């Protein structure tokens, strides 16, 4: 679960959401932390002592080069392709959640949100004109 906003939507179906929603958010965060930490440890162990060579690898991508070195050509390519697909799906989920948030904030008259959009230099029409 990369989009912790999903927990807020599922609270409609929960019994006792005041207790279970924070627990589910903490569980999702904890799981992400443990798995991410494990991935970093695994990458650190498998990259070996020749880590400067990874920066100047033929692929130009250190993580892809580690996967290529460890899994071989076919395994490395398959892992990177699957990683790209997963990043695409999680990115789409995050973009969808952000679009909902921007739409919800744009319906009101929150000056802080409007100033934030002006500050970053991207003025976006977030609601349908009436």
Distance CA 18, CA 107 (A): 27
Residue 111 lies in a domain: yes
Q: What percent of the chain has pLDDT over 90?
A: 15
- Residue 10: per-residue pLDDT: 76
In this model, does residue 130 exceed pLDDT 50? no
Kindly write down the DSSP assignment for every residue of 48-112, as one continuous string: -S-HHHHHT-SSS-HHHHHHHHHHHHHHHHHHHHHHHHHHHHHHHHHHHHHHHHHHHHHTTT-HH
**Residue 62 sits in the same domain as residue 92:** yes
How many domains does the chain fold into? 2
% of the chain residues with pLDDT over 70: 72
Same-domain pairing of 63 and 121: yes
The predicted model scores a pTM of 0.61
Domain contains 41: yes
Does one domain contain both 14 and 71?
Answer: no
What's the pLDDT at 106?
Answer: 64
Same domain, 86 and 35: no
Token pair for 85: 């697909």
Could you read off the pLDDT of 8-34 as tens digits, one per residue? 777 778 888 888 888 888 888 888 899
Q: Which domain holds residue 72?
A: 56-130
Residue 51 lies in a domain: no
Is residue 65 located within the same domain as residue 111?
A: yes
The reported pLDDT for the residue numbered 1 is 44
Closest among 47, 46, 28, 42 to 90, alpha carbons compared: 28
The residue written with tokens 């965060």 in the block is 29
Q: What is the pLDDT of residues 45-103, one digit of tens each?
A: 988 887 888 888 888 888 888 888 889 999 999 999 999 998 888 888 777 777 777 76
């Amino acid at each position: 679960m990369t989009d912790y906003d999903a927990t807020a939507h599922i609270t409609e179906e929960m019994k006792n959401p005041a207790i279970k929603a924070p627990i589910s958010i903490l569980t999702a965060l904890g799981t992400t932390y443990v798995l991410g930490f494990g991935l970093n440890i695994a990458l650190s162990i498998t990259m070996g002592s020749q880590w400067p060579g990874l920066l100047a690898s033929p692929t130009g991508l250190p993580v892809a080069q580690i996967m290529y070195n460890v899994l071989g050509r076919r395994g490395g390519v398959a892992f990177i392709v699957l990683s790209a697909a997963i990043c695409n799906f999680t990115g789409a989920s995050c973009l969808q959640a952000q679009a909902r948030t921007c739409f919800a904030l744009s319906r009101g008259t929150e000056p802080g949100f409007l100033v934030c959009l002006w500050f970053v230099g991207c003025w976006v029409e977030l609601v349908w004109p009436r």
